[in-house]
């Protein structure tokens, strides 16, 4: 499975990209999308978040992936 990686520092100065990889299935045990590792609330609210909030979500995604390994 593809795992998105956190945007680089240079990307942080532009719009923060979505971690979506078009694998949209929510794992019932974790509540996380199997493709991007976001919760349904994080997915639904992505467009409303500012860049700092989006980067904070990216940090959470890294922690979730690490915890699953």
Assign 69 a pLDDT band (cuts: 50, 70, 90).
confident
Q: For residue 59, give every residue at least 6 positions away whose Cβ sits within 8 Å of its Cβ, in sequence order, or none.
A: 6
Backbone angles phi, psi at 37, to 5 degrees: 75, 10
For 1-49, write each residue's pLDDT tens digit: 455 666 755 554 569 999 999 999 999 999 999 999 999 999 999 999 9
Burial code (b: 16+ CB inside 10 Å, e: under 16) for 29-63 equals eeebbebbbbbeebbeebeeeeeeebbebbeebee
């Amino acid at each position: 499975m593809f795992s998105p990686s956190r945007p680089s520092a240079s990307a942080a100065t532009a719009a923060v990209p979505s971690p979506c990889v078009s694998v949209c299935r929510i794992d019932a045990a974790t509540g996380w999308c199997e493709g991007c590792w976001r919760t349904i609330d994080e997915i639904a609210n992505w467009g409303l978040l500012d860049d700092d909030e989006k980067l904070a979500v990216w940090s959470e995604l890294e922690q979730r992936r690490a915890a699953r390994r």
